[in-house]
Amino acid sequence: MLLPCHELSRRKAALLGMALPSAAWAAAGRKKDRVDIATDKAAEYLLKSQERSGAFNDPNARQSARNGYAMTALGIMALASIGHQPVDPSPQGRAIKKALDFILRNDPQRGRLEYFGCDGSRMYGHGITTLCLTEMMGMGVTRAQESRLREVTEKALQLILVSQQQPKRDPRHRGGWRYMPKSQDSDLSVSVWQVMSLRSAKNSGLDVPKDAIDMAVRYLKRSYYSPRNARGLPTNLRSGCGYLPGQPPRYSTAAAGLLSLQVCGEYDTAEVRGSTNWLANKRVTPTEQWFYYGTYYYSQGMQKRPRPIAERARQITEDLLLKLQRADGSWSGMDGMERGAGRVYCTALATLSLSVKHHFLPIYQH
Question: Does residue 186 contact residue 219 with C-beta atoms inside 8 Å?
Answer: yes
> In which domain, by residue range, is 213 found?
33-365
Residue 353 lies in a domain: yes
d(CA 284, CA 213): 30
- Dihedral in degrees, nearest 10, Cα atoms 332, 334, 340, 341: -60
Residue 299 inside a domain? The answer is yes
331-339 contacts, C-beta under 8 A, 24 or more apart: 331/42, 331/292, 333/291, 333/292, 334/286, 334/287, 334/291, 335/287, 335/288, 335/289, 335/290, 335/291, 337/289, 337/290, 338/290, 338/291, 338/292, 338/293
What's the confidence (pLDDT) of residue 30? Answer: 67
Domain-located, residue 62: yes
What's the pLDDT tens digit per position in 145-179?
999 999 999 999 999 999 999 999 999 999 999 99
- Summary mean pLDDT of the chain: 91
Q: Which of 16-25, 137-146, 348-357 has the lowest mean pLDDT?
A: 16-25
pLDDT tens digits, 81-136:
999 999 999 999 999 999 999 999 999 999 999 999 999 999 999 999 999 999 99
Asked if residue 173 belongs to a domain, the reply is yes
Residue 335 has pLDDT above 90, yes or no: no
The count of residues in the chain is: 366
pTM of the model: 0.92
Please indicate, yes or no, if residue 314 is contained in any of the structural domains: yes
Q: Residue by residue, what is the 3-state secondary structure of 31-82?
A: CCCHHHHHHHHHHHHHHHCECCCCCECCCCCCHHHCCHHHHHHHHHHHHHHC
Q: Is the residue at 210 inside a domain?
A: yes
DSSP secondary structure string, 206-237? ----HHHHHHHHHHHHHTB-S-B-TTS-BS-S
Tell me whether residue 265 is in a domain.
yes
Identity of the residue numbered 129: T
Q: Which residues of 85-111 are buried (b: 16+ CB within 10 A; e: fewer)?
A: bbebeeebbbbbbbbbebbbeebeebe
What gap in Å lies between CA 345 and CA 348, rounded to an integer?
A: 5
Assess if residue 28 is contained within a domain. Answer: no
Q: How many domains does the chain have?
A: 1
Mean pLDDT of 276-284: 97
Condensed to tens digits (0 to 9), the pLDDT of residues 21-68 reads 443 344 345 689 999 999 999 999 999 999 999 999 999 898 766 779
With a pLDDT cut of 90, the percent of the chain lying above it is 83
The widest CA-to-CA distance across the chain, in whole angstroms, is 61
Query: How far is Cα 93 from Cα 287, in angstroms, rounded to an integer?
Result: 34
Residue 335 sits in a domain whose CATH number is 1.50.10.20
Report yes or no: 161 and 167 within 8 Å, Cβ to Cβ: no
DSSP, collapsed to helix, strand or coil, labels residue 242 as strand
